[in-house]
Amino acid sequence: MVRETSLAADDFVYPLFVTHGRGVRKPIASMPGVCQLSVDQSIAEAELAASLGVPAVLLFGIPASKDPIGKENFSPHGVVAQAVRAIKQAVPALVVITDVCLCEYTDHGHCGVLNTGGEERPHPRLPEGYLLNDETLDVLDRVAVAHAEAGADVVAPSGMIDGMVRSIRTALDAANFAHVGILSYSAKYASSFYGPFREAAEGGPRFGDRKTHQMDPANAREALREAERDVAEGADMLMVKPALAYLDVIRLLRDRFGSHPLAAYNVSGEYAMIKAAAANGWIDERAAVLETLTAIKRAGADIIITYHAKEAAQWLK
């Protein structure tokens, strides 16, 4: 009667890693219970999530081949485009969100176009290998439109590229996808908790890090500035990522941007910590998961993107 925070299956978004092939369910060692799935298997998983009351999935793709700008991600034959079409056909009511970033698709593993070519590089003043912000926007636009063409309901740019929301919004509108929403990774930190994801999505950087564009874990006021920009550029929903080490940032954005739905990403490393401790018998998994998810909601998230979605939805039934 007096409980302030409630948790339910419809708070969750369930991430799926889609790969080429048929009948593939390739387990990810550092994320027990999570697999890379071929399109047919991703349909089954999406159907299961929907039957448990989870309203949305978030798709990441593992491409057949990688190149400097991640071409597969804007191809209609790309693995995510295929999965979107298949899932929307099988479970039309399920919201399909797609990740709009390049790191899983580029041969260098970075989230955008790089300044390469030695003496001939496009920006001689910037170092070799530096991520080029504006050149990346053009590619993100093509990816977002390709996903919308496949039937995505919402696109989620995760690269922290400056101007990505305005650029994608403009591209979507010009292609007659005004109805497709944008969930922006507004405050995404350069975090150590993405380790297992990089195994899952095969998208770790081959060199360097993401600190020129992802946020410094020491900064909270900067998150407000990032979110302000996203709101001004037309984001429909905001996000804080990771969740657990940033509950204060979730609260800050909730208080400041009450008009926008706020998502929090309970990331791979947070998932792996609970799974590892539970596997060793050091923690009560069910209690720890529900406590964690409740805390993320209490901090102010409306939407929780979590690999625990399926299990938590079962427990909450």
By the criterion CB under 6 A, which residues form the site for ligand PBG?
A: 99, 101, 103, 111, 158, 194, 197-198, 210, 267-268
SS3 content of the chain, % helix, strand, coil (to 5): 40, 20, 40
Token representation of residue 229:
């920009």
Q: Which residue number, 181 or 196, has a Cβ lying nearer to ligand PBG?
A: 196
Tell me whether residue 197 or residue 257 sits nearer to ligand PBG (CB atom): 197
Q: Are 31 and 196 in contact (CB under 8 A)?
A: yes
Catalytic annotation present for 241? yes
The two tokens of residue 295 are 């805390």
How far apart are CB 174 and ligand PBG at their closest, in Å?
24
Beta carbons of 157 and 128 less than 8 angstroms apart: no
Contact indicator for 84, 150 with CB cutoff of 8 Å: yes
Instruction: Give 105's DSSP letter.
Output: T
**Residue 46 or 243 having the CB closest to ligand PBG:** 243
Whether 310 is catalytic is no
Q: What are residue 238's DSSP bridge partners?
A: 184, 262
Nearest-approach distance from CB 159 to ligand PBG, in angstroms: 6
* Least distance to ligand PBG, CB of residue 255, Å: 25
Residue 125: CB atoms within 10 Å = 7
- Rounded to a whole number of angstroms, the minimum distance from the CB of residue 158 to ligand PBG is 4
State how far the Cα of 12 lies from the Cα of 310, in Å rounded to an integer.
9
- Catalytic residue chosen out of the listed positions 71, 88, 188, 297: 188
- Nearest to ligand PBG of 83, 101 (CB atom): 101
Which one is catalytic: 66, 71, 88, 241?
Answer: 241
Q: Which residue has the tokens 């350069």?
A: 190
Catalytic residue set: 188, 241
